[in-house]
A and B are shown apart, each in its own frame.
Chain A
């Protein structure tokens, strides 16, 4: 949707092909065109021979940075977990926010990352003398990963059981809090019975424990906002537009020869100031929400 409302409002509400909510966003194409019009020219801060592709580059870099730091536009991918107990990361995946399984009521049950294990990238077969076995062409033969086989059958109920051997000190004393048969000192970072997952960024897969088999998994993740290759489809929220433009200007001046340092600094400061503004705007904090959060506490609010 363009920045100017030109369609009859009824069309917007009744036509499902309309880009509902699109007014919140501005495309990178628009940002680049506006930048070229207002910042580049004979009597402007950047000379007429400034290359548009450099502006596009910095615009996209700015969008990436904003997506990591300020926009936090969380996407959710939902897939059912099969026998392989692994899912392929979304094509525009950059980092995960939360992994959950979905119950029959559509509620999310967060799954914990299993930091006690990892995804093995190579598991070589060995002979009875523990030597690696090679094929005729000299490549090592690979087998199934013991780590994964064991980890996928991990029952988190067991993981979270207190294991006294983890707490035996160097002197041989039991230092753990296993007093009187009670389980004190639960490791809360792993206190979760919903299953575990592990992500291999290099392989681009996410593996789950076997208790999640056939569950519907919801992966909430962050992208860098560049999942479309066409600049007319890449969008940024209008609340971040000023920040994006300031970043482009700062970087363009920063990489240009013979620009006075004070000018570069001026744009750098403007960018960081706009970044703070954008973070605040996008943080979605307002008095109503704070009031709601504090309701039920001991303090009475007028």
Chain B
């Protein structure tokens, strides 16, 4: 997908001689665009859920929350946790957001640090093997009851892998070469093609100081948001 996107972006930019993006600039803008879309997907999902609650979405292909969930779900991962003293830690390095913990087949519920002592001191709701709880301590977790020592998994969303358009220089021009070891395509769903182009164009518009490009992207963004409402 990355080469098609780059070609489309360059097509827009080169029209009427507006400007050009070097591979380094493109890769930098591509990563920014990817991160921006990834983050904005969560708030977009929230809006769609509200719409769903108000019966403004429908089933099958009109099930917009499901479509967006599919887009986000590609980042879902499970990783085991290990206990060290009182705390549980993970070793994976690509954690973007922890969604929850499971102990065997039971959900471990997150409890805020303000409530955890009250909960643990209230026999009626106190933690149990049937209903364990956890609280975050920095990057780590404290899981109650402390008798749990193994079998805990973390469900998380990983950070998207940074895209990299790789090339060989032929005749002074960069020629796309996806077989290089550091090549990375966009780590996004196919449906993100258009929005990736828009995002990269908006950064490029600022970079090459093209008001025309910036205005175009702004208008497209507004229209896109209006469609979602």
Please report A residues at the B interface, Cβ cutoff 8 Å. Answer: 29, 32, 42-43, 51-54, 56-57, 60-61, 226, 229-232
The answer, yes or no, to whether B32 is at the interface (CB within 8 Å) is no
The answer, yes or no, to whether B41 is at the interface (CB within 8 Å) is no
21 A–B contacts from the bound complex (CB under 8 Å): A32-B131, A42-B52, A43-B52, A43-B53, A51-B109, A51-B111, A52-B131, A53-B119, A53-B125, A53-B131, A53-B133, A54-B125, A56-B125, A57-B124, A57-B125, A60-B125, A61-B124, A229-B126, A231-B128, A231-B131, A232-B130
The answer, yes or no, to whether B49 is at the interface (CB within 8 Å) is yes
| Bound CA–CA A29/B107 (angstroms) | 12
Mask: chain B, 114-131; 1 = CB below 8 Å from A; 0 = not: 000001001111101111
> Do the beta carbons of A230 and B133 come within 8 Å of each other?
no
* Chain A positions within 8 Å of B125 at CB level: 53-54, 56-57, 60
Please report B residues at the A interface, Cβ cutoff 8 Å. Answer: 49, 52-53, 65, 107, 109, 111, 119, 122-126, 128-131, 133
* Chain A positions within 8 Å of B53 at CB level: 42-43
Which chain B residue has the least Cβ–Cβ distance from A231?
B130
Which chain A residue has the least Cβ–Cβ distance from B126?
A229
* Chain B positions within 8 Å of A54 at CB level: 125
| Bound CA–CA A32/B65 (angstroms) | 27
Q: How many A-B residue pairs have CB under 8 A?
A: 41
> Do the beta carbons of A53 and B52 come within 8 Å of each other?
no
| Bound CA–CA A32/B129 (angstroms) | 15
> Do the beta carbons of B130 and A42 come within 8 Å of each other?
no
> Do the beta carbons of A230 and B128 come within 8 Å of each other?
yes
| Bound CA–CA A53/B132 (angstroms) | 10
Measured CB to CB, the closest approach of chain B to A30, in angstroms, equals 11
Q: Pick the contact of A29: B109, B130, B133 (CB < 8 A).
A: B130
Q: Pick the contact of A52: B65, B109, B123, B126 (CB < 8 A).
A: B109
Which chain A residue has the least Cβ–Cβ distance from B124?
A60
| Bound CA–CA A166/B212 (angstroms) | 107
| Bound CA–CA A43/B126 (angstroms) | 29
Which chain B residue has the least Cβ–Cβ distance from A54?
B125
- Give 11 new A-B contacts, CB below 8 A, not counting A32-B131, A42-B49, A60-B125: A29-B130, A29-B131, A51-B111, A52-B109, A53-B119, A54-B125, A61-B124, A226-B124, A229-B126, A229-B128, A230-B128
Measured CB to CB, the closest approach of chain B to A52, in angstroms, equals 5
By CB atoms of chain B within 10 A, which of A52, A53, A232 has the most? A53
* Chain B positions within 8 Å of A61 at CB level: 124
Measured CB to CB, the closest approach of chain B to A44, in angstroms, equals 9
| Bound CA–CA A229/B124 (angstroms) | 8
* Chain A positions within 8 Å of B119 at CB level: 53
Q: Pick the contact of B129: A53, A56, A230 (CB < 8 A).
A: A230
By CB atoms of chain B within 10 A, which of A43, A57, A230 has the most? A43
| Bound CA–CA A271/B124 (angstroms) | 21
| Bound CA–CA A43/B49 (angstroms) | 8
* Chain A positions within 8 Å of B52 at CB level: 42-43
The 9 closest A-B pairs by CB, nearest first: A57-B125, A231-B130, A53-B125, A42-B49, A52-B109, A232-B130, A43-B53, A60-B124, A56-B125
Known A42-B52, A42-B53, A43-B52; judge A52-B107 contact (CB<8 A).
Answer: yes
Measured CB to CB, the closest approach of chain B to A201, in angstroms, equals 19
* Chain B positions within 8 Å of A42 at CB level: 49, 52-53, 65
Measured CB to CB, the closest approach of chain B to A110, in angstroms, equals 34
> Do the beta carbons of B128 and A53 come within 8 Å of each other?
no
Measured CB to CB, the closest approach of chain A to B114, in angstroms, equals 13
| Bound CA–CA A232/B111 (angstroms) | 21
Which chain B residue has the least Cβ–Cβ distance from A64?
B124
| Bound CA–CA A232/B107 (angstroms) | 15
Measured CB to CB, the closest approach of chain A to B125, in angstroms, equals 4
* Chain B positions within 8 Å of A229 at CB level: 123, 126, 128
Which chain A residue has the least Cβ–Cβ distance from B111?
A53
Measured CB to CB, the closest approach of chain B to A280, in angstroms, equals 28
| Bound CA–CA A56/B126 (angstroms) | 9
Measured CB to CB, the closest approach of chain A to B219, in angstroms, equals 32
Measured CB to CB, the closest approach of chain B to A252, in angstroms, equals 13
Which chain A residue has the least Cβ–Cβ distance from B127?
A53
> Do the beta carbons of B130 and A230 come within 8 Å of each other?
yes
| Bound CA–CA A29/B130 (angstroms) | 8
